[in-house]
């Protein structure tokens, strides 16, 4: 059984096709990355998974439970950390979590709530009102809230946007632990290095369509894979015709060429450069990051936004 199954899901907002026939599955125990530029449809898809949004077509299920027909069971199996912070400012942290437990029909959840508070570094904030918390602390409460009912599947929608490094790391420690303990994790993030570090498999979504669905390794190795950096002793001028389409960067004495691992020979490229009069001083091969792949595939520099 898949942890999440999405089949043929479409959603329009007026003229805008926010999701266009999206289909993929996420297996139990995966750490899955959902990447895409702003407006790609990531949050829309997550809302649909949480049953908060009516789609125009398609089916979604969580742990085998249809989100439409089997809403309660699907919801029980899913915890969502939303992108937007929406909370009642007058509740304390503990009340917020007790209230959320009640929503799932769970009483006497104190022990688990204490554990969540401890793990998320919130113990000393348990009796603070939500409005007294910093943005980062509120994010932690959102995570605790998503976990009060011990869901098998945890979806985090850009949980680290605007969060400081320390909190981000403690958050990841906790999420990693949940993953080790068998939870399925779905992470949406702008920080591609985060996805690169954490995720086993990645879907790239752009303009409502899935444009890639691969293991991280395959995605990194896809097509180009790496770049060749050449530094010349002199400022570089006109390059041989055959290189024009490969140039990633040409900046004074430095040149970066996209390398196709299957068909390009570094030696041959260097020979051609030398033959055309380039006096080579230094050469290195740079492996593509997920960010390079992402930018190339979506034609967006969104991933660079920090």
Among 4, 6, 35, 36, interactor with ligand ADP by CB under 6 A: 36
Residue 20's contacts (CB-CB under 8 Å, 6 or more residues apart) are 10, 207, 208, 209
Among 13, 108, 111, 165, interactor with ligand ADP by CB under 6 A: 13
Give the bridge partners for 285, in sequence order: 228
Residue 284, binding choice from Mg ion, ligand ADP, none, Cβ under 5 to 8 Å by partner class:
none
Among 43, 61, 145, 298, interactor with Mg ion by CB under 5 A: 43
Nearer to ligand ADP by Cβ, of 18 and 178: the residue is: 18
Asked if 189 interacts with Mg ion (CB under 5 A), we say no
Say if strands 153-157 and 184-188 run parallel, antiparallel, or are unpaired: parallel
Ramachandran region, residue 108 (left: φ > 0; alpha: ψ -120 to 50; beta: rest): left
Asked if 151 interacts with ligand ADP (CB under 6 A), we say no
Nearer to ligand ADP by Cβ, of 33 and 36: the residue is: 36
Per-residue binding string, ligand ADP, 37-56, x by CB under 6 A, is -xxxxxxx------------
Tokens of 129: 């009102």
Indicate the Cα dihedral angle 46, 300, 26, 226, nearest 10°.
Answer: -160
Give the interface with ligand ADP as residue ranges (CB under 6 A): 13, 16, 18, 36, 38-44
Give the interface with Mg ion as residue ranges (CB under 5 A): 42-43, 83
């Amino acid at each position: 059984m898949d942890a999440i199954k999405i089949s043929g899901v479409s959603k329009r907002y007026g003229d805008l096709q926010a999701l266009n026939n999206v289909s993929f599955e996420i297996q139990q125990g995966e750490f899955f990355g959902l990447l895409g530029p702003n407006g790609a449809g990531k949050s829309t898809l997550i809302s649909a998974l949480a049953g908060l949004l009516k789609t125009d077509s398609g089916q979604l299920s969580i742990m085998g439970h249809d989100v439409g027909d089997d809403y309660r069971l699907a919801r029980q199996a899913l915890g969502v950390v939303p992108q937007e912070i929406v909370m009642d400012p007058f509740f304390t942290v503990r009340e917020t979590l007790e209230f959320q437990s009640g929503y799932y029909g769970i009483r006497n959840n104190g022990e688990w709530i204490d554990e969540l508070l401890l793990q998320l570094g919130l113990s000393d904030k348990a009796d603070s009102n939500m409005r007294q918390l910093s943005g980062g602390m509120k994010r932690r409460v959102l995570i605790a809230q998503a976990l009060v009912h011990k869901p098998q599947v945890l979806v985090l929608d850009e949980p680290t946007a605007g969060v400081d490094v320390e909190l981000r790391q403690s958050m990841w420690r906790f999420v990693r632990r949940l993953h080790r303990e068998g939870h399925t994790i779905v992470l949406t993030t702008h920080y591609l290095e985060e996805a690169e570090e954490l995720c086993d498999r990645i879907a790239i979504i752009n303009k409502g369509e899935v444009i890639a669905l691969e293991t991280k390794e395959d995605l990194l190795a896809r097509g180009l894979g790496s770049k060749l950096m050449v530094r010349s002793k002199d400022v570089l001028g006109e390059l041989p015709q055959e290189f024009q389409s490969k140039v990633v960067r040409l900046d004074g004495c430095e040149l970066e060429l996209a390398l196709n691992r299957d068909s390009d020979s570094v030696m041959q490229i260097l020979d051609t450069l030398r033959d055309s009069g380039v006096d080579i001083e230094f050469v290195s091969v740079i492996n593509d990051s997920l960010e390079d792949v992402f930018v190339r595939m979506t034609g967006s520099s969104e991933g660079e936004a920090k």
